[in-house]
């Protein structure tokens, strides 16, 4: 299984080389991938609280003390819709974030060139999740439940961010943009060299400089 995953995501790499490239690369693509990892962990944390509530591990989750908007985590997460998958939807959503994280971490920095299917799959997968999250955020909670779940709002924003952050790399993988499309680095200004001062009292070869006001005959 390990070798299969290695061949599928990082062909020609040893674990040592892959570790060095992933940890030390400072390209923009890796910065986006690291941002997806962090964003996915935030989404997983929010859904971890919801999962604890939906499975009865905790009996109540705190809500922001505001009247408008109406925050009611219990109402949103105990609805029939929330249990219509054969299980609570919290664990499923948590697993979706974990999958986004895994896809962001897979492969070397140049995977868009060597394994383009990975960034394409990452965008397709996170895009589908973002569409479902948008339906919950902009329709289900305000118009059906008529209540808001702060944990679900964080979850939806994490889905949107993961999808958006995956797009630049996918555009490269599909040939929409290329590395040379990025602006070149600004050239460094050449240092200004000032001429050395001329010494007026320097001795003249073959004799000395006559003193001012003195005339030789």
Q: Can you give the CATH number for the domain in which 70 is found?
A: 1.20.1440.130
Predicted local distance difference test score (pLDDT) of residue 178: 74
Q: Which residues contact 150 (CB under 8 A, 6 or more apart)?
A: 63, 64, 71, 73
> Which tens digits make up the pLDDT trace of 130-176?
999 999 999 999 999 999 999 999 999 999 999 999 999 999 999 99
- Measured on CA atoms in the order 152, 157, 158, 163, is the torsion positive or negative? positive
Residue 207 has pLDDT above 60, yes or no: no
Predicted local distance difference test score (pLDDT) of residue 184: 45
φ, ψ for residue 86, nearest 5 deg = 85, 0
> Which tens digits make up the pLDDT trace of 4-59?
999 999 999 999 999 999 999 999 999 999 999 999 999 999 999 999 999 999 99
CA distance 133 to 140: 10
Q: Which two tokens stand for residue 123?
A: 């965008």
Predicted local distance difference test score (pLDDT) of residue 205: 57
Question: Do 147 and 75 form a contact (C-beta atoms < 8 A)?
Answer: yes
CA distance 156 to 150: 10
φ, ψ for residue 194, nearest 5 deg = -90, 140
- Could you tell me if residue 154 is inside a domain? yes
- Could you tell me if residue 169 is inside a domain? yes
Total-model pTM:
0.81
Q: Which residues contact 80 (CB under 8 A, 6 or more apart)?
A: none
Predicted local distance difference test score (pLDDT) of residue 210: 55
Domain hosting 126: range is: 15-180
What secondary structure letter does DSSP report for 181?
Answer: G
> In angstroms, what CA-CA distances link 58 with 49, 50, 79?
9, 9, 17
- The β-bridge partners of 71 are 148
- Could you tell me if residue 212 is inside a domain? no
- Could you tell me if residue 194 is inside a domain? no
Tell me the pLDDT band of 177, cut-offs 50, 70 and 90: confident
Q: Tell me how many domains the chain contains.
A: 1
- Could you tell me if residue 197 is inside a domain? no
- Could you tell me if residue 204 is inside a domain? no
- Could you tell me if residue 196 is inside a domain? no
Q: Which of 172, 31, 167, 163 is nearest to 114 (CA)?
A: 172
- Could you tell me if residue 90 is inside a domain? yes
């Amino acid at each position: 299984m390990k070798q299969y995953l290695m061949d599928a995501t990082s062909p020609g790499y040893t674990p040592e080389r892959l570790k060095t490239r992933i940890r030390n690369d400072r390209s923009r693509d890796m910065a986006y991938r690291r941002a997806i990892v962090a964003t996915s962990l935030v989404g997983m944390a929010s859904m971890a609280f919801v999962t604890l509530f939906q499975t009865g591990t905790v009996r109540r989750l705190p809500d922001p003390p505001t009247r408008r908007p109406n925050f009611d985590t219990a109402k949103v997460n105990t609805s029939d819709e929330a249990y219509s998958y054969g299980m609570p939807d919290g664990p499923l959503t948590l697993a979706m974030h974990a999958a986004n994280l895994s896809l962001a971490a897979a492969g070397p920095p140049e995977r868009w060139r060597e394994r383009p299917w990975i960034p394409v799959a990452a965008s397709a997968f996170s895009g589908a999740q973002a569409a479902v999250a948008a339906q919950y955020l902009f329709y289900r909670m305000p118009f059906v439940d008529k209540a808001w779940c702060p944990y679900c709002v964080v979850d939806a924003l994490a889905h949107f961010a993961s999808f958006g952050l995956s797009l630049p790399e996918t555009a490269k993988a599909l040939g929409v943009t290329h590395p040379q499309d990025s602006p070149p680095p600004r050239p460094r200004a050449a240092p200004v060299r000032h001429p050395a001062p001329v010494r007026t009292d320097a001795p003249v070869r073959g004799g000395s400089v006559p003193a001012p006001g003195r005339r030789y005959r």
